[in-house]
Amino acid sequence: MANEYEIKKQICDIGKRIYDKGMVASNDGNISVKISDNEFLCTPTGVSKGFMTPEFICKVDRDGKVIQANPGFKPSSEIKMHMRVYKERPDVNAVVHAHPLYATGFAIAGIPLTQPIMPEAVIALGCVPIAEYGTPSTEEIPDAVSKYLQSFDAVLLENHGALSFSDSLLSAYHKMESVEFYARLLYISKQLGGPKELSDAQVKRLYEIRRQFGMKGKHPADLCPNAKEGKPSCHGCGGNCTCNSNDSDLVGEITRRVLEQLNK
Ligand code: 13P
């Protein structure tokens, strides 16, 4: 693993990218990287993520408490959201939060990214659900996001923005780029009369390819009960599918018990 100073520089580079690409305005967005089980580097609150230098970066523990921060810098106001991702997804080493224009537009319109319109988005993301609105900086956003963590590597945040996470900072950033690109394409194709969606069989084939590649992270191809049952994907769930096999087990158990009672 790169040394701490190198990671701080990488965080600054990614901050500049999300700012330069218009994925954040002003002081918006935040980034964090896990460096050990109880040490995380994160962007400070209230600064433009496009103009950071390594001394801006703060270090916190797994509860989001400050371990080290230079004078004038405090950890991101959204640190609880980042920490929830690390807590519930031990495979994650980096989290990126941004407000990309098109993806955030969909999050504001309440439209999850579920239409299968291009192979790369289907393979990289599957679909992107919307986590219910929460007040920034409170536990409401972590609680809303939690529901989707076991099935996806990116979520939209209702009326707010997007969140992506992965095993490396570059990969988490790439997922944010993929979410925004998917949202832009979906928006444009809607203007052009509506997208021509990939067929169920085409989606199924892409899911198989993803499995063959052994791609890391959580993805409906590996987890969605529909996909497991040989049905095409979670794309038909309108973004409401949490693709959580425990949920589907629970529903199955409840159904079994209700039927048992009815048959008595
Ligand atoms: P911070 O500057 O506190 O990280 O907050 C930015 C933001 O985008 C909140 O959603």
Q: How confident is residue 258, by pLDDT bands cut at 50, 70 and 90? A: low
pLDDT of residue 15: 98
pLDDT > 70 fraction of the chain, expressed in percent and rounded: 84
Sequence-ordered list of residues with C-beta below 8 angstroms from that of 40, at least 6 positions apart, any chain = 32, 33, 34, 59, 60, 61, 62, 82, 83, 86
Q: Is 159 in the pocket of ligand 1 (CB under 6 A)?
A: no
Residue 204 has pLDDT above 50, yes or no: yes
SS3 readout for 138-196: CCHHHHHHHCCCCCCCEEEECCCEEEEEECCHHHHHHHHHHHHHHHHHHHHHHHCCCCC
Residue pLDDT, tens place only, 106-147: 999 999 999 999 999 999 999 999 999 999 999 999 999 999
Note whether 66 and 73 are within 8 A (CB). no
Out of 26, 42, 45, 96, give the residue to mutate to test ligand 1, the one with the largest number of ligand atoms within 8 Å of its CB.
45
pLDDT > 90 fraction of the chain, expressed in percent and rounded: 80
Active-site annotation holder among 4, 6, 78, 180: 78
Sequence-ordered list of residues with C-beta below 8 angstroms from that of 261, at least 6 positions apart, any chain = none
Q: Which atom of ligand 1 is nearest to the CA of 77?
A: 3
Residue 219 CA to residue 128 CA, distance in Å, equals 10
Q: Which atom of ligand 1 is nearest to the CA of 24?
A: 8
78 as an active site residue: the answer is yes
Residue 217 CA to residue 200 CA, distance in Å, equals 23
Out of 81, 97, 141, 157, give the residue to mutate to test ligand 1, the one with the largest number of ligand atoms within 8 Å of its CB.
97
Q: Tokens 């444009």 sit at which residue? A: 188
pLDDT of residue 255: 45
Q: How far is the CA of 199 from the centre of ligand 1 (A)?
A: 39
Mean pLDDT of the chain: 90
Q: Tokens 């004038």 sit at which residue? A: 72
pLDDT of residue 234: 60
pLDDT of residue 180: 98
pLDDT of residue 95: 99
Average pLDDT over residues 207-220: 90
Residue 5 has pLDDT above 80, yes or no: yes
Residue pLDDT, tens place only, 226-242: 555 655 456 655 454 55
pLDDT of residue 241: 53
254 three-state secondary structure: helix
pLDDT of residue 162: 98
Q: Which CATH architecture has domain 4-191?
A: 3-Layer(aba) Sandwich (3.40)
Q: Is 134 in the pocket of ligand 1 (CB under 6 A)?
A: no
> Cα 51 to the chain's mean position, in Å?
24
Residue 201 CA to residue 69 CA, distance in Å, equals 52
Q: Is 114 in the pocket of ligand 1 (CB under 6 A)?
A: no
Residue pLDDT, tens place only, 147-192: 999 999 999 999 999 999 999 999 999 999 999 999 999 999 999 9
Q: How far is the CA of 214 from the centre of ligand 1 (A)?
A: 34
Q: How confident is residue 256, by pLDDT bands cut at 50, 70 and 90? A: very low
Residue 28 CA to residue 206 CA, distance in Å, equals 35
For residue 38, the number of C-alpha atoms closer than 13 Å in the C-beta half-sphere is: 2
Q: How far is the CA of 85 from the centre of ligand 1 (A)?
A: 16
Residue 76 has pLDDT above 80, yes or no: yes
40 three-state secondary structure: strand
Average pLDDT over residues 95-111: 98
> Cα 100 to the chain's mean position, in Å?
13
Q: Is 48 in the pocket of ligand 1 (CB under 6 A)?
A: no
List, edge to edge, every strand of the sheet that includes 66-68.
66-68, 58-60, 39-42, 30-36, 94-98, 161-166, 154-157, 130-131
Instruction: Provide CATH 3.40.225.10 ranges for the chain.
Output: 4-191
Q: Tokens 């993805």 sit at which residue? A: 219
Nearest to 94 by CA among 196, 189, 8: 8
Angle ∠(27,29,33) on CA atoms, nearest 5: 125
Rg, the chain, Cα only:
19
